[in-house]
Amino acid sequence: MRRRDFVGGGGGLLAAIVLPRTATAGTWQDRPSLPYRVQEIYPAWHRGRIYVAGGLSPDVDAALQNISTRVIVYDPESSAWSDAPSLPEPRHHAYLVANADELFLFGGFVAADGGRWSASRDVLRLTAEGWRVVDAMPEPQSETVAIAWQGRIHLAGGRQPLGQRNADWEDQGDTGLHQVFDPGSGQWQPAAPLPTPRNSAAGVLLDGRWHVVGGRTVRGGNLAVHEAFDFATDSWSELAPLPQAAGGIAAAALDGRMYVFGGEYFGATSGVYAEVWEYEPQRDAWNLADEMPVPRHGLGALATDEAIYVIGGAAQAGGSETTDRLVAFRP
């Protein structure tokens, strides 16, 4: 194999240089399959375990519009899945975020008003009694990117209703909204908007900044844009774009680098990307790190100290071939 390096500068893609690969490809190791097939998930690490909540699943009755209430937990030590308390109602594209010792779920889409794409403002928290609605976002925000930083939770980008109607996919438009939630006080504050409004992006905390990469717009399709947020200055900067525009991706940070997995594309043809892209912040450069054994979109990715767990997703663009795969990737 050969290694492709994509070096950025001034926020643009300046060069594509083909160099000999200096390391072997990553290793992929199957782990126990999820208890159900699911896509459009945003999983989280909480108390040393992986949590997956809701999502779209062919294993859910069509009468429920294939939207799941299920919450499942993977323990890496026992290498086993178990069930956690279910969500109060079916929900997809909702973002799980662990903050301190608490687990929150933000937004997502629910079935309402005759459709299954009704954007929710709900903020749920997992308690000893199960999931409880503990707050509401000032504005609905789904298919977003979220992160916990110094006790507060940031949400940026995604989709929200274009007008009064809030039921179907067509009712939702892209947003650059950046909302910050303080679980201690229950207060919400605005922050600098994401410069490129988009949905289905991915984000990680890397080099003290929040990197948001890729995604797509409702009307314009996939994007390669890569923007990073500086918490101290409340400002965004543009960095080297993802070499391949993609939406429906997942990302995780390991050993000081960001890894971006999969995604889907539409157009004259449609499909799912196999590439795994690696970003080096010191050089503001991307490398083609590997390819996924089973390309997927609508998946999740979470890193431990040694590996990245790649979770669920679909092997075909859209709702087809949703999987129950759990794989550990070691670069």
Token reading at 215: 């995604």
Give the Cα separation of 187 and 101 in Å (integer): 19
Is a pLDDT exceeding 50 seen at residue 280?
yes
Confidence of residue 297 (pLDDT cuts 50, 70, 90): very high
**35: how many CB neighbours lie within 10 A of its CB?**
16
pLDDT band of residue 63 (cuts 50, 70, 90) is confident
Extract the tokens encoding 179: 């909302």
Residue 286 has pLDDT above 80, yes or no: yes
Q: What is the structure's pLDDT at 5?
A: 56
Give the model confidence (pLDDT) of 100-130 as tens digits: 999 999 999 999 999 999 999 999 999 999 9
What pairs with residue 121 in β-bridges? none
Q: Are strands 235-238 and 226-230 parallel, antiparallel or unpaired?
A: antiparallel
* One-character DSSP codes across 22-61: -SPPPEEEEEPPPSS--BS-B-EEETTEEEEE--B-TTS-
Q: What is the tally of structural domains in the chain?
A: 1
Instruction: List pLDDT tens digits, range 257-278.
Output: 999 999 999 988 999 999 999 9
110: Cβ contacts below 8 Å, ≥ 6 apart:
67, 89, 90, 91, 116, 118, 120
| CA–CA gap between residue 125 and residue 132 (Å, rounded) | 5
Is there a contact between 163 and 140 (Cβ–Cβ < 8 Å)?
Answer: no
What was the pLDDT predicted at 21? 40
Please give the pLDDT value at position 64: 87
pLDDT at position 8 is 58
User: pLDDT per residue over 11-28, tens digit each?
Assistant: 444 333 333 343 447 899
DSSP state of 241: P
pLDDT of residue 6: 55
Stronger pLDDT, 85 or 26, i.e. the higher one: 85
239 is in which domain, residue-wise? Answer: 2-330
Report the mean per-residue pLDDT for the chain. Answer: 93
pTM of the model: 0.93
pLDDT classification of 4: cutoffs 50, 70, 90: low
Q: Tell me, what's the pLDDT at 25?
A: 75
* CATH code: domain of residue 305: 2.120.10.80
pLDDT number for residue 7: 55
Q: What would the mean pLDDT of 195-205 be, rounded to a whole number?
A: 98
